[in-house]
Amino acid sequence: MTQDLAPQIISWWWPQEINGPEAALSFSFILCLISWYTWVLIKRSRNGSPPLPPGPRGLPLIGSLPFLNPDLHLYFAKLAQTYGPIIKLQLGSKLCVVLSSPSVAKEVLRDHDTIFANRDVSAAGRALTYGGNDIAFSPYGPDWRMMRKVCSREMMSPTVLDSYYDLRRREVRQMVHDVRTQAGGPVYIGELAFRTSLNVVTSMIWGGTVDGEGRRSVGHEFREVTNEAIRLVGKPNISDLFPIISRFDVQGVVGRMKKVASWLDRIFQSVIDQRLKMDRGEGEKESKDFLQLLLQLKEEVDSKTSLTFTHVKAMFMDMLVGGIDTTATTIEWAMAEMMKNPEIMRKAKEELEQVVGMDNMVEESHIPKLRYLDAVLKEVLRLHPPLVFLIPRSPSQPCTVGGYTVPKGTQVMVNTWAIHRDPEAWDNPLEFCPERFYNATSKSDYSGNDFRYIPFGSGRRICVGLPLAERMLTYVLASLLHSFDWRLPEDAKLDLSEKFGLLLKKATPLVAIPMPRLSNPELYS
């Protein structure tokens, strides 16, 4: 067979009709091509470049696509058991590298943070964020630094967040009042937490909340829109795997995302237009919300970058789509885990009774003293990190990670779900045990310095909304626990199964029945 195949290959390279000078020229060309290829191989071997990471062998053109499991975090964790903590997969024309241990995550998120500072942005993500002009997806550079600085210094600083405490207090008290009116009946915890977070964030952004009977319906509509946005950003899209056909939007993902983005953009633009029509004298008063602050900053001209209306709306998109649902999802997981573990809920309530008292409502000033509840939240975020892969990164140049070469432009994913359940990093990793944080001798926080625990990421692209998330998570959860006793509806079973997506949510929404527990009924007014 080999003897029959060889002449065919030779005849393909060297057609019979080529003779004389043409044959000599062709022969010279082939000889040069072989020499060049041999030189490249020799140069590579001399350079001693590390090989690509190990991983499963895929099929031509489509790579490992046919073998993927819908629960990607589980699939990648299983592959890591076979190939090691850094693996590669060819997904269409895109090379994907997945990291599944604290050590290799540290190399990417800290040691080579600048090289991996760019995001691997999906087509749907670009459509949602005004072409990737937000903080989450913007390329590492002057625009991103400007927006990050504005958000962290002018919007998320402790002083600014302290100034908005009355607003958060009002919305959390309203949540407690709403739950009191439903006492004895079913409450969807995720929807409740979402609506509260939505009202807090929109009040901070532009000072507008929905009052009266419209609160619940508008919150539900917002949640449907943001859920669709998150679903589309996380949905596998052939346009991302085969960029050559991306303009055709074969699956219609970008088209659907543009409708979602348009719906949100109309709200943003309407709010901005209303603010711009305000009397100039009134506009010069002390800022009451982020929008007023951003409009003032927009007038300040910088030699390198300046804030535009697109930047303003893109930052609003980050806060509404990226911040609200993650908070609501975490609170839902926390309530579910504590209802599954009544002893843990009892300890959390005892701490609240000692710190807050049964004749008082929770205030943010109590939060630093709620050490056990803080440990509960940390354990929830360990077992149920909202973003299982954080936001994928892409190196700006070839880099060596874990002894392997990661080429420029590779999609790099950090499997936080696997890292947080790594038996080499955690004792009894599958057990829900807040004591692992409560009794820890070293300080455990969300700073991203301990690469065993990175629910909010690490490095220069750590979640910019972390300061607000810390306050909201503890404040809302403490208020729900302190103000009410909770039980499951009759014949209901607590299901802790996960639903994979860009956000790791409960497969079935948590429904619980509240009963007031405070000594003074007037506190619920």
Q: Which of 17-21, 107-111, 205-209, 225-229 has the lowest mean pLDDT?
A: 17-21
pLDDT at 2 over 80: no
Each residue's pLDDT tens digit, 48-88: 689 999 999 999 999 999 999 999 999 999 999 999 999 99
- Average pLDDT, stretch 433-444? 84
Quick one: pLDDT band at residue 12, thresholds 50, 70, 90? very low
pLDDT at 212 over 70: no
Same domain, 74 and 39: no
- For the chain, give the percent of residues with pLDDT over 90: 77
Please report whether residue 55 resides in a domain.
no
Same domain, 22 and 148: no
CB neighbours of residue 497 within 10 Å = 7
Same domain, 227 and 313: yes
Do β-strands 187-188 and 94-99 pair in parallel, antiparallel, or remain unpaired? unpaired
pLDDT at 299 over 90: no
Same domain, 307 and 234: yes
What is the number of domains present in the chain?
A: 2
Same domain, 335 and 419: yes
Please name the residue ranges forming H helices in 102-245: 102-106, 123-128, 142-149, 158-163, 165-181, 189-206, 214-234, 238-241
CB neighbours of residue 193 within 10 Å = 27
Same domain, 157 and 8: no
Please report whether residue 56 resides in a domain.
no
- Average pLDDT, stretch 395-417? 98
Please report whether residue 53 resides in a domain.
no
Please report whether residue 202 resides in a domain.
yes
Each residue's pLDDT tens digit, 440-449: 766 678 999 9
Same domain, 360 and 409: yes
- Give per-residue burial for 238-263: e unless 16+ CB within 10 Å, then b: bbbbbeeeeeebebebbebbbebbee
Same domain, 113 and 207: yes
CB neighbours of residue 116 within 10 Å = 26
Quick one: pLDDT band at residue 41, thresholds 50, 70, 90? very low
Same domain, 439 and 495: yes
Please report whether residue 54 resides in a domain.
no
Please report whether residue 52 resides in a domain.
no
Please report whether residue 58 resides in a domain.
no
Same domain, 91 and 32: no
Of residues 288 and 124, more confidence is placed in 124
For residue 439, what are its two tokens? 């009794």
Quick one: pLDDT band at residue 106, thresholds 50, 70, 90? very high
Please report whether residue 166 resides in a domain.
yes
Same domain, 22 and 102: no
Each residue's pLDDT tens digit, 145-165: 999 999 999 889 999 999 999
Give the CATH number, domain containing residue 496.
1.10.630.10
pLDDT at 459 over 90: yes
Each residue's pLDDT tens digit, 324-383: 999 999 999 999 999 999 999 999 999 999 999 999 999 999 999 999 999 999 999 999
Q: How far apart are CA 303 and CA 224, in angstroms?
A: 41
Same domain, 499 and 463: yes
Q: Containing domain of residue 293, as a range?
A: 65-524
Quick one: pLDDT band at residue 251, thresholds 50, 70, 90? very high
Each residue's pLDDT tens digit, 320-334: 998 999 999 999 999
